[in-house]
Chains A and B, each alone.
Chain A
Amino acid sequence: MSDEDVPETIETLPLDSWHRAQGGRMVAFAGYHMPIQYDGIIAEHLWTRENAGLFDVSHMGQLTLAGEGADAALETILPGDIKGLGEGKMRYSLLLGETGGILDDLMVTRLPAANAFDEAAGDFYIVVNGATKWDDIAYLHEQLPEGLTLNHHGDQALLALQGPKAVDALARLAPGVADLFFMEAGAFTIAGVSAWVSRSGYTGEDGYEISIPAADAEAVAAALLALPEVKPIGLGARDSLRLEAGLPLYGHDLDEKIDPATAALGFAVPKRRRAEGGFPGAEQTIGFFKDGPPAKRIGLTIEGRQPAREGATIYDGDVAVGTITSGGFSPSLQVPIAMGYVSTDRAALGTALEVDVRGKRLAATVSAMPFVSQNYVRKGAK
């Protein structure tokens, strides 16, 4: 979280004064003043795993793409199944650069007729990372055909309510949200405000992401915080929660030099796309899925209590075999955990490796991700 590009002017988000009033300790992140913590990262992390945490993710870019053939156009730059996405359904996908490297990771939703963005049924709502949104928008304009319209909804705030009690809490304000399954979305009214709500998030827990007009963000945040299950959660716990859930963070675990196979994101490249190709770098990426990439993203559990952090070198004996891309102390497991890349011959679960932390070698074991089980409410799984 320390190496985000920080532009000269740090901007404020719609909930800036609200965060300060809640006791948030503000830091510069992705070009915005954002709360790193309120009560403390461990307490906030554990609260989210047991109750419901309210996150402000308004720094993220909210885009819509409208027009005939938007799905086919998106498939030229995303390796996911966009054509097969039903209305009100969403997917995690990867924005690929011209040579197949990952420019960003994102969520793409096909909108139904009733949506909060004044777009037609079949159009798309796309949420991209805050630090990359301006580059993404420029790239999308360059890559997408002229008949399509890309809108940046800079006047929308985005909140996430995450945790096992998120459904009970939010359903008290908008009963219909309980009927959504994981990765489904719809239009609802929360505290009198028109909201676009999806059952999704990036903590590994059940929960929701809520897009609302920036002008109404304080009213909605206040209504959510008034629920007994809900506490505000900062960036620090957001990072430890997503790391435990095995979810990569763009700019750390993913970048433009990494392809989807090396990133071990096979679920984001379904069978049809592997058969048909038609996305940047398809030949190499499909080959990597078939025969194995030279290196891949793995999870590591570190022995002892000292965390191994981003940039630490991973060794097998004297041989440097990879690098940690995120690491920290897991509040749920009470051990240090990390994510990184190692050569594929060292990537098997259970492989014993070492990590160099400040000149000291710590024992590490390649471990399955997620580190903490995900608790999504999937359709058909109930």
Chain B
Amino acid sequence: MTTYYTREHEWIAVEGDVATVGITDYAQAQLGDIVFVEVPGAGTTVAKGKEAAVVESVKAASDIYAPVSGEVVEGNAALEGDPALANTAPETEGWFFKLTLSDPAELEGLMDDTAYKAFVDSL
């Protein structure tokens, strides 16, 4: 499994042609207390850079953009009943959705773990 990161603070863990997408620990800390998460359902087609999910913190609503294109195979149903999972376990149980990649080449421009850490440190 390889994990990639975006400048919008999403992580994408790729195993074969299935990718799991979530927000990073940095992202959840910036958002603050998360009270609602809406993830796309199975069968939804998402396009790189387009809205795919909604996160509402106490402060504000934020769109989560799909970091890569593909078809959603599963949204994380646990987030509906316990949206705070995105705060407490953003990079594990608090994942947002899984999708099959329609264009694996889209992964090429993304950061790896080291590059993302350096990016966050520069903010």
Contact = CB atoms under 8 A, between A and B. Distances in A.
Contact size range, B = 10 to 19
Interface residues of A, number: 20
Contact of B35 (A1, A305, A358): A305
Contact of A329 (B38, B54, B56): B56
Interface in B30-64: 32-33, 35-36, 38, 54, 56, 58-61
A31 interface: no
Contacts, number: 41
A197 B54 CA distance: 44
A331 B33 CA distance: 10
A292 interface: no
A280 interface: no
Contacts of A328: 58
A307 B36 CA distance: 8
Q: Of B33, B36, B60, B61, which is in contact with the most chain A CB atoms at under 10 Å from its CB?
A: B33
Given A306-B56, A307-B56, A358-B54, A329 B35 contact: yes
B70 interface: no
B90 interface: no
A41 B87 CA distance: 13
27 contacts: A1-B59, A36-B59, A40-B32, A41-B33, A41-B59, A42-B33, A42-B58, A236-B32, A236-B58, A236-B59, A240-B58, A304-B36, A305-B83, A306-B36, A306-B54, A307-B36, A307-B61, A309-B60, A309-B61, A328-B58, A329-B36, A329-B56, A329-B58, A331-B33, A331-B58, A336-B35, A358-B61
Interface of A: 1-2, 36-37, 40-43, 236, 240, 304-307, 309, 328-329, 331, 336, 358
